[in-house]
Amino acid sequence: AGGVLFKDVAPGVGTAVKAGDKLRMLLTMFLPDGTMVTRQEGIEVKAALGSTDLPAGLLDGLAGMKVGGQRIVKFPAEVGFTSEYRAAAVAVVKGCGNGVCKLDAEPVVAMVKLAGYEKKECQGSKDSISADASQFFTKGEVRVTIGNEACPEGNTEITEARIKMRSMVENLKASGKIDTSRQEGFAGVVPKMNKQ
């Protein structure tokens, strides 16, 4: 949408979001005079990138964000919270009553933190992150399964914690602490542990 400006405050981690991904963000919005127009600071909002769930100006300003990233997005009124969006987003915006609303004429500045997202191609997938410790006491093994090739984080929301866990598992594989010779799909076995 025209006239949308943004500036990254914190870059985030992992892969950038793309059209169709379902975003979960913490949002605080202001008018240029500093008046907060969200019902509270850091309100949680969910929307698919590229959808009509939220105004085009806001969603266009979120393209390319990464989990944990923080961004300031400024968007003009014509691609912002028009009356149609205000009716649908009563829980998000405030300050429009008696037929007068500054959101009809003034740009909005949004402070956004991307808390997590679900990849478009993984929505509805049956693959998740799991651990099977049933062989721990007999063989000393724990079987860990994480997603699949298309959805390496599984069918769950991608968050900073999940990205860190995935990195930890990859480091364990690289160091030989997970037996990848016994890998089935994206599963691995943590070999028997020695007693100290």
129 SS3 class: strand
Cβ proximity of 42 and 99 under 8 Å: no
- Is the whole-model pTM more than 0.75? no
Cβ proximity of 157 and 149 under 8 Å: no
121 SS3 class: helix
Q: What is the mean pLDDT of residues 111-124?
A: 88
- For residue range 32-68, what is the model confidence (pLDDT) as tens digits? 888 888 888 898 999 999 888 888 899 899 999 999 9
* pLDDT at position 153 over 80: no
Nearest to 6 by CA among 52, 47, 62: 62
Residue type, 64: G
